[in-house]
Every structure is written in structure tokens, then in C-alpha cells.
Amino acid sequence: MRRILGIVAVICLSFIMSSCTEKHTVLSPNGKLELTVLNRDGKVFYELRKEGKLILSESRLGLLLKDQGDLSENFIIQNTDEFTFRNTWSQPWGEVKNIEEYYNGLTVSLLQKSNEKERQLNITFKLFDDGLGFRYEFPEQENLKKFVITDELTQFNFTHDFNTWWIPAYSDQIDYEELYTETKLSALEKTMHTPVTMESGDSLFVSIHEAALVDYAAMTLKPVEGALSLECDLVPLSTGEKVMTEAPSVSPWRTIQVGNSAGDLITSYLILNLNEPSKIEDTSWISTGKYAGIWWGMHVKTQTWNQGPIHGAKTENVKELIDFAAENNLKGVLVEGWNKGWEKDWSLGRFRFAEPYDDFDIEFLSKYASEKGVSLIGHHETGGNILNYETQLKEAFEFLKKYKIPAVKTGYVANLINQKEFHQSQFAVNHYNYVTAFAAENKIMLDIHEPVKATGLRRTYPNLMTREGARGTEYEAWSEGNPPEHTVILPFTRCLAGPLDYTPGIFDINIKTRSDNKVHTTLAKQLALYVTIYSPWQMAADLPENYTGQPAFQFIRDVPTNWEDTKVLNAKIGDYITVVRKDRDSDDWYLGSVTDEHEREFEISLDFLMPEKKYKAYVYADQEDTDLMNNPTAIEISETEVTSDQKLNISLAAGGGQAIRFKLLN
């Protein structure tokens, strides 16, 4: 009898416990990903499965508020709404032309009853075949108007001890300009910027990031000691708050991209799909291209930003660059150090954005560039003083329009914005987005350096072309440099967020003017980076004299910056990657293959080419006697005819690469 009563008690307890849990499940369009949303005892969680196996176990959702009671418990699910959306949209420019936006969605409407007050919080989930996006939504309501978010409870509780690639969120280095570290998920100790990319074996790849970062603090990820778990940690304001907002409003999307291979992450467009369609109806003024510039000379100490004996932005120097660009299929010339303010302590941000130095004749150069079919690219370095910049913004953009300058590179070289705010804080996010919208109104394209991180807003504002937000080529000129693995980690981490202005194309690998510094690649790898690291504006970064008499420069002349399609042929994070891209304006394809400090050999299929067609392959390869330390500029250039049913052998030197143009012949 006692045994029977015990069984009945267990059954009753199980019933009571289950009655406190409400579940709702959604499948991705292909049925391989499964999302479950749970309300257990008034707290909300989510789970994610791939082909029936847990990737993320019960992970908490909710928010912490200041002085208004948290939005974290005492919830009941008031309503659920399931929906499906399928659409194909076209990018005006990008790594592919057409993108399918196909997901199954679920909105969970939560009602919180606390202290006799009722408040509403909605959480919307969109489950794609390549991952999940979800966000918090705050409807207009009587009991939640203006409020302060002190943090999110958003968790990512993993079931695998992933290999994880990450950079720290808070350090003495300029924001985001760090080398990536590979660590086991269980061994992580520091708060990290996103994207954070993870690998388990050779068939499960995950990246955590966010989409549509607007009027909110950026999300960093904090590891939980003793657990395979990451928690959202919003970047604070200098006053300690994280987000100051009012209903109705929404958070950014928290994104979880999932793939069977490392290459699947690169060809996932989930982050773009979670952004709003373009707010710019007429995009005819937006274009892509390659540019030269007054830039590398300052880093190798042959020129200066400020006025003086070796001032880079002199009229005669810029004129020569315009001639060089016109002769070599480069559409733009970037000019840094043209304006007053560099002669002072420029880190204080006292620049004037419509006052050229007297040795920079903007009237002449604007007319000369136009006659040559070349565009000047402006430069607005703020030194992180955005109050100074915003005060002059209208005047600065009128100056750009007056002198027919269609694009501007902005800079925020400072550890803190206005000497007190993080680059990823809500305050800075709102500034960057304000400048983007203002530039769109004035038909100006943007290249942002020291930026807020990319979150796919280029879909909404296609004038938001490219940005830095990474440790770029300039570090090769005055530091220990970027190790060879750096450029085979970036495509799977930083570049998942959006285009990167890495500034490749250095031919003077051993840097004649700086004997203690060198570029940690071969010449062939510098060419391949134009394909493996995507940017709609790519710089031919070296000094023009270093391209003179170099047959390899032909690849830079030829390679497009706007693509119809992108495919990843092979990839291993931190080791190697081979990418092919189809030109949007022709039937030509371009290949880039790069490796870390180890030499590699691959056999690749050419089945991406059109069948029954012949192509001329122009191959730029490492010579047998080269690597990144020995004879790094030795390059072998060859031509051969190929068809789609062939295979091609690729040999990469240590620190090397290979670039190929496949030109359609018939």
C-alpha cells in the first residue's frame, strides 16, 4: 500500500510541476532547427535544438529596471501569435545580390502582475534555417512609460564546450582593435565583444551577435564561472545606466547563427534579414569601388597628417594620386590631414571640418578630380569629440556637397567618446546612427573608423558602406603586426557583422622606411584578401610608387567590389579559407585563398563556373621559394584555360595566399 501511495504521490507531484510550465514550439522552415519557449513559475526561458539535439538548454529571458521593479518574473503568457514570412529582396550592393528572407515566427505576449500593477512585455522570435533572432518589445501602456534598463537577463546556456574565438570588451586598446583568442567555452573569464564564434567538432558552428542596434546599448557577453553559459552585459553609460528609453520601443535582435560548416556562417544573411528594409528609395547615387589615398604614408612615417615639410595632403600629392587612380581603375582618392586641427593635440578633437590647410587647394582638386572621372573621399577625424563634430555637421556636409565629394571616412580615435563614454554605449550608438541618417539625407556615403559595431543597418541605410572596428593593416606598420592567422579568423568573427575596411594591398611587405616592422603575409595573400575580406569600398593601401612596375597590381585593377554571389569552397577558422565571388557586372568569378603560418595545398572543384563555357584563369600564386619571412614578394603569375568540370590545385606558402580571376571567354 505504501508503495502504491508513493507512486501516486510522484504522479501528483509531476502533474503539479508540469502544470506550472507552459511550452510553445516553433520549427524553422526546413524543420532542422526547433525553438521552444517556456514559462516556468512566472519566469521565461527558451531552448534551441538542431536536428533534435540541444544546442542551447533552458536560457533565461528578462530585464532589470531601475526603481520600477524588474521585468523578470511573475509573468503569465497572455497570448501567442505564430506567423510565417517569405520574401526575396535585392541589395543595391553587397556580397550577394538577392537574399531570401524566410522564417517562422512566434510572438509571446507576457503579462506581469506585481504589486497590483499589470505590465506588458512581448518577446518576438524569428527562426530561420540558419539561426534564430529574438527581441524584447515594450508596448505602449499606463504602467511603463519612461524607464531605465540596468541590464538584461538574456542567457545563452550551451550544451557543448565549444572552441570559442573572442576579443575583450573592455581594455586599454581602442575599442574592437584586438587580436582574437581561441579558448574553450568553459575556460572563458573576460567579458567579450560580439560576434563571438564557436565550433564543436566539424559539424556545429555557432555565432552570437545582434541586429538592428538602434537607441540601445550594445550587447557584450559575460561568461558564467563553472558553466557553459554566456550572459548579456549591456555596455554602460558613464552614469552607470545601460539604456534610457520609453514605451513603445524595442531592443535590438539577439542573434544566434547556426551552421554545419564554418563557411555556412559566412553565407548566412540572418543579421541583414533582421533589419528593416531600406529607407532610401533612390539608391542610384550609392556606388562601390576601389580607392587610393593619403593614408599609408603617415603610418610608415613618410608623410604627416599635420601641416609641415612632409605634409601628406598637399595639392601636388593629391593631384598625383588622382592621376594614379584614373590610370588604374580606382574610383576614389581618400585625403586625410587636409583640414585644420591636426597641428594641435588632435586627440582632444578640435578639428575644423570646412577649413582646409592653405597647401590643400580644394577648388582646384575638386575640378581636377571631376575631369579625371575620380571622386575625392573626405575625411572627418573627430578625436572622439562628437560634440565638436555635431556642432559642425551641417557645415561639414555642405562642404562635401559643394566640392562634389560623395563619400566620407569618419574617425573616432579615442579610448572614450567625449572622454567619458564607451564607443558601444547608447550615447555613442545614437550619435553614429544620427550621422548615418544625416549622411543619407545629404546623399553622402560613409566609411566609419573606430565605429560602433556593425549590426546589419546597411540594409536600412545602404549609404552605410563599410567600417573598421577591427585590428587593421595599419598595425603592421608600427606594432608587432598582425599574425598570419588574424586574417583567417576575421571572416568568421568580425566580418559576420558586416563589411570591413581592412585596407589590404601592401606590396612593400618589408616596409623600407621601418626596418623593425613588416607585413606578416606574402604578396599573393595581399591580393587574395580583396576576395576573402568583403568591403564595397576597398583600398589600394600602399604608396603608388610601390605598385610601379608590379605585374601583380593588375589583380587590384581588375577585382570588383560588388558581387552577384559568394561561395565558400573550404574553411577552417584560424587556419585557412577559400572564397569565390561572382562579379555583379559580368560573368567573371574571382577566387581568394589564404592560410595562416602553415603552408597548404588544396584541390578545388570549378563547378561554380557556368557549364559548357570556357574561362581564362589568371593565377597569382606564391612562388615555391617564398613564405611570409623569406622572399615574401615573390609571386608567380600564370594563365590557363579552364571549364566547370575541372579541378584546380592551389598551393599556399606559409602566411601566403592565391588570387585568381576567371574571365569568361565564350
Crossing angle (nearest 10°) for helices 315-327 and 362-372: 10
Phi/psi region, residue 281 (left: phi>0; alpha: psi -120 to 50; beta: rest), is alpha
Q: How many CA atoms, within 13 angstroms, populate the side-chain half-sphere of residue 542?
A: 22
184, 497 contact by CB (below 8 A): no
* Close Cβ partners of 437 (under 8 Å, ≥ 6 residues apart): 461
C-alpha cell at 589: 568569378
C-alpha cell at 600: 597548404
Phi/psi of residue 319, each to 5°? -60, -45
Q: What is the 3-state secondary structure (H, E, C) of 85-138?
A: EEEEEECCCCCCCEEEEEEEEEEEEEEEEECCEEEEEEEEEEEECCEEEEEEEE
Cβ burial, residue 157 (10 Å; 0-12/13-18/19+): buried
Q: What is the DSSP letter of 64?
A: E
Q: What is the DSSP letter of 612?
A: T
| Cα–Cα distance measured from residue 486 to residue 497, given in angstroms and rounded to the nearest whole number | 16
| Cα–Cα distance measured from residue 346 to residue 340, given in angstroms and rounded to the nearest whole number | 10
Characterize 465-490 residue by residue with b for buried, 16 or more Cβ atoms within 10 angstroms of its Cβ, and e for exposed.
bbbbbbbbbbbbbeeebbbbbbbbbb
Choosing from 47, 474, 476, 564, the catalytic residue is 474
Which stretches of 510-613 are assigned E, i.e. beta strand?
A: 537-539, 563-572, 576-583, 589-595, 600-605
Query: CA dist 396 to 237, 339, 342, 438, Å?
Result: 28, 11, 16, 11
What is the identity of the amino acid at 219? M
What is the identity of the amino acid at 394? K
Q: In the beta sheet, which residues pair with residue 71? A: 63
How many Cβ atoms are within 10 Å of 462's Cβ, its own excluded?
20
What is the identity of the amino acid at 265? L
Characterize 314-336 residue by residue with b for buried, 16 or more Cβ atoms within 10 angstroms of its Cβ, and e for exposed.
bbebbbebbebbbebebbbbbbb
- Tell me if residue 474 is catalytic: yes
Query: CA dist 101 to 29, 202, 421, 582, Å?
Result: 11, 27, 36, 21
Q: How many CA atoms, within 13 angstroms, populate the side-chain half-sphere of residue 378?
A: 29
C-alpha cell at 62: 528578462
Q: Nearest Cα to 575, choosing from 182, 95, 168, 167?
A: 182
C-alpha cell at 222: 559575460
Alpha carbon dihedral 312, 499, 442, 286, in 10-degree steps, equals: 100
Sign of the torsion angle spanned by Cα atoms 44, 48, 52, 53: negative
Instruction: Kindly list the catalytic residues.
Output: 474
